[in-house]
């Protein structure tokens, strides 16, 4: 039961961080503005498809996790 509680707390913390990032995402430079990111504007509607931004973030997270695993010796 303790492991489930820890997992729920960790999941909640991740959701809080993601929610905070979404709230300030307009103020983060380059997110959605890289070449290859698609933005469609029709009247008052805006659709953003940040393809390249997602790839860049994925590579950064992968590098960080790889560095952590190397540091821990696994």
**Kind and range of the H or E run holding 60:** helix 51-72
pLDDT value for 43? 93
Q: How confident is the model at residue 74 (pLDDT cuts 50, 70, 90)?
A: low
Residue 3 has pLDDT above 80, yes or no: yes
- pLDDT digit string (tens) for 4-63? 888 899 889 989 998 888 788 777 677 777 888 898 999 999 888 889 988 988 999 999
pLDDT value for 62? 96
- State the Cα–Cα distance between residues 54 and 60, nearest whole angstrom: 10
Contacts of 39-46 spanning 24+ positions with Cβ under 8 A: none
Locate 18 and state its tokens: 């993601």
This prediction has a pTM of 0.57
């Amino acid at each position: 039961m303790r492991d489930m509680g820890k997992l729920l707390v960790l999941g909640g913390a991740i959701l809080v961080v993601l929610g905070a990032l979404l709230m300030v995402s307009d103020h983060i430079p380059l997110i959605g503005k890289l070449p290859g990111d698609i933005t469609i504007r029709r009247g008052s509607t805006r659709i953003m498809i940040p393809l390249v931004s997602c790839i860049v973030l994925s590579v950064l997270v992968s590098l960080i996790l790889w560095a952590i695993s190397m540091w821990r010796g696994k």
